[in-house]
Amino acid sequence: MFLLAHLSDPHLGPIPTPRLRELANKRGLGLINWYRKRHRHHRADALDAIVADMKAQAPDHIAVTGDLVNISLDEEFARAARWLDTLGKPQDVTLTPGNHDAYIRHAAGHAAEHWGDFMRGDPHPNPPPLAGEGREGAFPFVRRRGPLAIVALTTSLPTGPFMATGQLGGEQLARLAGILIALAREPAFRVVLIHHPPTHARSHYMKRLIDAPILRALLAEHGAELLLHGHDHEHRVHWLDGPRSRIPAVGVPSASAIVEGDDEPAAYNLFHIDGGPGAWQCEMVLRGLRAGHGGVTELKRERLR
């Protein structure tokens, strides 16, 4: 059995004191929002509790689906790199960035610069066509861990004020199709990582994944065994069409959210994966904070496959 952990949207704080010239753009609005609301909602003690509990479960691998920083200041990326190092070694942690990790155009390449070791595919004698493996920051990339083939996508792109949309783009979608076709020939449990959800349940127009319908159509044709995402700060399981069976798309709350507030409190998911092609088994366990409980506890258990 392989144990995969998934957390997302830690929004590491506090925000470093910015220079005045760094606020002459969308960052200024983000900083105001941080001090008006978000700094009370995203707490280091909540995140520390989640990470400590996750490590106690001894997962074989950890998936992180973005939004490590808040307004993409240079120092935020450096701090997040140090946090990633405490989470695990690059070979044990796979990261895909979120919209806050490319908050403005100037910061678009910072995630790859600071966190590239966590966003690089494995060398492989027969890499999937067009996978882009070996290039730092290239997406999609593939990592093979036990029975898993982890396929990481990026929806992270700079957007205007009040916007939090994501986009994959035609080139990345074409590469993904080639990867999924190639992996279908292997005895692999395919796990797709993405920040924005592939559906629009809670995300309104300003927060959506622009080319989500194309991604869903691609998955319906070529398949995957599991899709993990963040962005919405809530636990949800949405079932996508696949070529032979439905694909669970699983979102998770922010890993640093306190119990009070509009969003769900901090949590993470564990996936117990066993079996083989045609007979995969996957059980999801949601662990997190809960009102009236002093620590991290099991919140839900569900068999996905």
Task: Assign residue 249 the CATH number of its domain.
Answer: 3.60.21.10
Closest CA to 149 of 185, 113, 174: 185
How confident is residue 291, by pLDDT bands cut at 50, 70 and 90?
confident
Question: Which residues 6+ apart lie within 8 Å of 82 measured at CB?
Answer: none
DSSP structure string for the chain: -EEEEEEB-----SPPPPPGGGGSSHHHHHHHHIIIIIHHHB-HHHHHHHHHHHHHT--SEEEE-S---SS--HHHHHHHHHHHHHH--GGGEEE---GGGG-SGGGTTHHHHHHGGGS-PPP-SSPPTT--TTSTT-SSEEEEETTEEEEE--------TT---B---HHHHHHHHHHHHHHTTTT-EEEEE-SS-SS-SS--GGGSBTTHHHHHHHHHHH--SEEEE-SS-S-EEEEEP-SSS-EEEEE--BTTB-SSSSSPPPEEEEEEEES-TTS-EEEEEEEE--TT-SS-EEEEEEE--
Domain of 121 in residue numbering reads as 2-303
**Reported confidence tier of residue 281, pLDDT bands at 50, 70, 90:** very high
**Does the structure show a pLDDT above 70 at 262?**
no
Given pLDDT bands bounded at 50, 70 and 90, which one contains residue 234?
very high
Query: For residues 33 and 65, what is the distance between their CA atoms, to the nearest angstrom?
Result: 22
Residue 130 has pLDDT above 50, yes or no: no
Is beta strand 61-64 parallel, antiparallel or unpaired with respect to 93-95? parallel
Mean pLDDT of 101-119: 89
Average pLDDT, the chain: 90
Torsion of CA 6, 305, 240, 209, to 10 degrees: 0
Query: How far is Cα 100 from Cα 112, in angstroms, rounded to an integer?
Result: 14
> For the chain, how many structural domains are there in total?
1
Q: Give the residue, 302 or 261, on which the prediction is more confident.
A: 302
Query: Residue type at 183?
Result: L
Band (18; pLDDT cuts 50, 70, 90)? confident
d(C-alpha 110, C-alpha 175), whole Å: 23
Structure tokens at 141: 């990339």
Banded model confidence at residue 102, pLDDT cuts 50, 70, 90: very high
Confidence of residue 137 (pLDDT cuts 50, 70, 90): very low
User: What is the band of 133 on the pLDDT scale with cuts at 50, 70, 90?
Assistant: very low
Instruction: Determine the pLDDT at residue 203.
Output: 52
**For residue 192, which of 235, 137, 242, 117 has the smallest C-alpha distance?**
242
Q: Which two tokens stand for residue 259?
A: 């119990």
C-alpha distances out from residue 233 to 8, 63, 288, Å:
8, 16, 13
pLDDT of the residue at 225: 97
Task: Determine the pLDDT at residue 64.
Answer: 98
Distance CA 111, CA 107 (A): 8
φ and ψ of 27, to 5 deg: -60, -35
- Residue 209: its pLDDT value, please? 95
